[in-house]
């Protein structure tokens, strides 16, 4: 009797243990499932974010991963060290032309992720037996103007994404900027005198077309890009290293699919410096130069201690589209800078039409102290940059 009761107790215990085990496993499975779901959602939201979601000021939304802005591993790679003016003008030209094809309301901007640093270095190098990907011509061994110059200076990739399922982003467009040289510097011996070789506009354009065709074909061969992603190719002419302004874009082609380039769209952009020493009446910028000189005379009459004033003017199809003015003064006091900035904001509209954006930077002893800016049709807004 006792023996039967003992077997029953063990049986009950085993049944109870089995039930508890099933319950525990079920709870753990549910908890793990729930954790995975939450982790995936959290990981997605923290891994990929989009900033400027409200599309402020007509700029692109941009991609942030793991809390950091996504940069391109190939950004800034060039044949020779680029000066700041060319680098900034190049990026700005690519960005502005991209907006004509990739709407800031629809697309999300991401720095190039499909061309690696190694790839770009190979492409920018000279063609040789050890580098058959080189887009610059083979070194012919000459050390005079009969040498093969390096036509290609740099390539920049911008990606345009659209939101897919969940937090995924899909490549929906791409802009490739190709910067070409009008001059090429070289030395005959290591550490020797630097010589400059000129490149004609026609030669630059012809070489640029050949390079662009090869670049497009290589991009289409990349399975991650494919045949049907729209690719905008922007050709850019670098300014010389001695120029006070950056270069300009001179042509573009939109490839909706395929690897062939049919007809280029030519651009007429110019960057000018004011005051110009000599201008021809009726030439591009002649009246704007006169207006700037009158503006300079006006502010110098009000504040005789101004040491210099210069302007960078941008033209598209011979029409002024923007101006950046730099004023250097020898005074430094807060009251003088404020009075001077106020005066500029009042007299500026007399000399510059309202339909162009203008930025005026006021310096004293090489220190930026005030910035006056306006967009098309608006009044000047002043920002002071004093230390507390």
Return d(Cα 111, Cα 108) in angstroms, integer. Answer: 10
Fold of 48-267: sex pheromone staph- cam373 precursor fold (3.10.570)
pLDDT in the model for residue 44: 35
Return d(Cα 19, Cα 22) in angstroms, integer. Answer: 5
pLDDT in the model for residue 15: 60
pLDDT in the model for residue 18: 62
Per-residue pLDDT of the chain (388 residues; tens, 9 = 90+): 434 444 446 655 556 666 566 555 554 544 444 433 332 232 334 356 777 656 667 899 998 888 889 899 888 898 887 677 889 999 999 999 999 999 999 999 999 999 999 999 999 999 999 999 999 999 998 988 899 999 999 999 999 999 987 778 999 999 999 999 999 988 888 888 989 999 999 999 999 999 999 999 999 999 999 999 999 999 999 998 888 899 999 999 999 999 999 999 999 999 999 998 766 667 899 999 999 999 999 999 988 888 889 999 999 999 999 999 999 998 778 888 999 999 999 999 999 988 899 999 999 888 999 999 998 878 899 999 877 6
pLDDT in the model for residue 332: 72
Return d(Cα 170, Cα 224) in angstroms, integer. Answer: 11
Check for a shared fold between 48-267 and 272-384: no
Q: Give just the sign of the alpha carbon dihedral 347, 352, 356, 358.
A: negative
Q: How many CA atoms lie within 13 A of 107 on its CB side?
A: 21
Nearest residue to 197 via CA among 187, 184, 207, 188: 184
pLDDT in the model for residue 386: 79
Strands 265-266 and 269-274: unpaired
Number of separate helices (H) and strands (E) present in the chain: 6, 17
**What is the residue extent of each domain of the chain?**
48-267, 272-384
pLDDT in the model for residue 242: 83
Residue 130, token pair as written in the block: 């050890």
Architecture of domain 272-384: 2-Layer Sandwich (3.30)
pLDDT in the model for residue 58: 82
Return d(Cα 196, Cα 147) in angstroms, integer. Answer: 11
């Amino acid at each position: 009797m006792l023996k039967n009761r003992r077997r029953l107790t063990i049986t009950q215990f085993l049944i109870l243990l089995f039930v508890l085990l099933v319950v525990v496993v079920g709870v753990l499975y549910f908890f793990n499932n729930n954790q995975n779901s939450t982790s995936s959602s959290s990981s997605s939201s923290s891994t990929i974010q989009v900033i400027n979601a409200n599309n402020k000021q007509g700029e692109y939304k941009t991609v942030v991963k793991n809390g950091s802005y996504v940069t391109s591993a190939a950004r800034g790679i060039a044949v020779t060290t680029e000066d700041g003016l060319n680098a900034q003008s190049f990026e700005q030209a690519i960005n502005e032309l991209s907006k004509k094809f990739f709407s800031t309301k629809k697309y999300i901007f991401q720095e190039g992720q499909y061309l690696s640093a190694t790839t770009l270095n190979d492409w920018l190098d000279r063609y040789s037996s050890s580098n058959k990907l080189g887009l610059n011509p083979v070194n012919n061994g000459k050390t005079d103007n009969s040498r093969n110059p390096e036509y290609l200076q740099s390539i920049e990739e911008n990606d345009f994404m659209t939101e897919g399922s969940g937090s995924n982003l899909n490549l929906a467009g791409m802009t490739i900027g190709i910067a070409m040289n009008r001059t090429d510097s070289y030395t005959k011996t290591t550490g020797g005198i630097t010589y400059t070789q000129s490149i004609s506009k026609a030669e630059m354009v012809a070489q640029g077309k050949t390079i662009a065709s090869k670049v497009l074909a290589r991009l289409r061969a990349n399975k991650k890009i494919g045949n049907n992603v729209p690719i905008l190719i922007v050709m850019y002419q670098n300014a010389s290293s001695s120029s006070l302004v950056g270069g300009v874009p001179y042509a573009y082609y939109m490839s909706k699919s395929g690897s062939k380039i049919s007809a280029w769209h030519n651009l007429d952009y110019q960057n000018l410096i004011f005051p110009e020493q000599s201008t021809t009446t009726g030439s591009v910028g002649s009246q704007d130069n006169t207006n700037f000189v009158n503006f300079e005379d006006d502010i110098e009459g009000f504040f005789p201690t101004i040491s210099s004033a210069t302007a960078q003017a941008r033209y598209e199809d011979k029409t002024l589209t923007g101006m950046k003015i730099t004023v250097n003064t020898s005074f430094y006091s807060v009251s003088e800078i404020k009075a001077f900035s106020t005066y500029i904001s009042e007299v500026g509209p007399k000399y510059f039409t309202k339909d162009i954006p203008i930025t005026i930077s006021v310096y004293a002893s090489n220190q930026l102290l005030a910035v006056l800016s306006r967009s098309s049709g608006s009044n000047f807004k002043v920002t002071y940059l004093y230390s507390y």
